[in-house]
Amino acid sequence: MSTQHAAGRYAPSPSGDLHVGNLRTAVLAWLFARTTGRRFLIRMEDLDRAVAGADARQLDDLASLGIDWETPVVHQTERRDIYRAVIDHLRDAGRTFECFCTRREILEAPSAPHTPPGAYPGTCRNLTESERAEKIAAGRPPAIRILADTTEFTVTDLLHGTYTGAVDDFVIQRNDGTPAYNLAVVVDDAAQGVDQVVRGDDLLSSAPRQAYLATLLGETPPTYAHVAMVLNPDGVRLSKRDGAVTLAALAAEGISAATVLSHIARSLALAGRDESVDLSTLASRFDPDALPREPWLLGAAEWTSAP
């Protein structure tokens, strides 16, 4: 499937402006790629939700921090036919099944012994043709799930070491026909030669599923680096609801993109308190082993001591 090699990437969802947490992860993804001689790519993961113009604003914000990337920028909505071809391939190989369960039914279904909380309990795995026909006739469109032959898979993470996580019969196509994230991200990384995935550590638990799917498609899973998140003062993952956390909102308060980059660098132990830096300087200092493993707690006072 893949004809290109050695790339890292940043893959935001264009559902709005990037906040400081998103930008910090993008800086880290760029640093990991550039300091290991990899190409750096941007991919817009817009299958679920996209706000008009958000992709362009996100690219402008990344560029304002000094991040550069190879063109073109890929949009997942332009690749639906490719995802469907992969889903058809898996179906023809006997690696999928139709699932008619609602989310509530899955949560309320009894689980088999040793099944991790929230894992799919296998309700529709062995439906007969007549049972499937009955559900379709009742007007319930099916999702498509992978038919997993394992319950766990192990990945290598540069920050977390060897990580083994649960694998269940996860969805690869939703019941509205939309290819699922877990499929699209694997197909795209393989097609683009992405062999290094840097993203927030809230996604660590999804890596085993994606790596397992990559092996089913004959691909080598990437090496992962799940980096610490940015949290608000209450210890909750940062979001735009936390106020002035996007570049546009911070600029309205007189805080420049250069200042934001310097504060991000300080949070990564790559800059002194009052030091102004650029990405080339950060690349010369970058050591993955020295990165903080704890979240960055970001409050309004963070910006009162601008470098």
Locus of tokens 């996100």: 58
| Residue 270 to residue 260: CA distance in whole angstroms | 13
pLDDT value of position 105: 85
Q: What CATH number belongs to 81-184+212-217?
A: 3.90.800.10
The secondary structure of residue 228, as a DSSP letter, is P
13 in a labelled binding site: yes
124 in a labelled binding site: yes
239 in a labelled binding site: no
Could you tell me the mean pLDDT of each successive run of 10 residues in the chain, 307 residues long?
Answer: 72 96 97 97 95 97 98 97 98 96 83 68 92 91 96 96 96 96 98 97 96 97 97 88 87 94 96 93 97 89 63
120 in a labelled binding site: yes
The dihedral built from the CA positions of residue 241, 247, 248 and 252, taken in this order, carries a sign that is positive
pLDDT value of position 4: 47
99 in a labelled binding site: yes
| Residue 187 to residue 190: CA distance in whole angstroms | 5
Give the pair of three-digit tokens for residue 51. 């706000």
Domain map (residue ranges) of the chain: 81-184+212-217
pLDDT value of position 113: 56
Q: Is 135 a catalytic residue?
A: no
State the catalytic residue, choosing from 79, 91, 240, 285. 240
pLDDT value of position 305: 55
DSSP string, 53-105: THHHHHHHHHHHTT---EEEEEEGGGGHHHHHHHHHHHHHTT-EEEE---HHH
199 in a labelled binding site: yes
Do the Cβ atoms of 304 and 53 come closer than 8 Å? Answer: no
244 in a labelled binding site: no
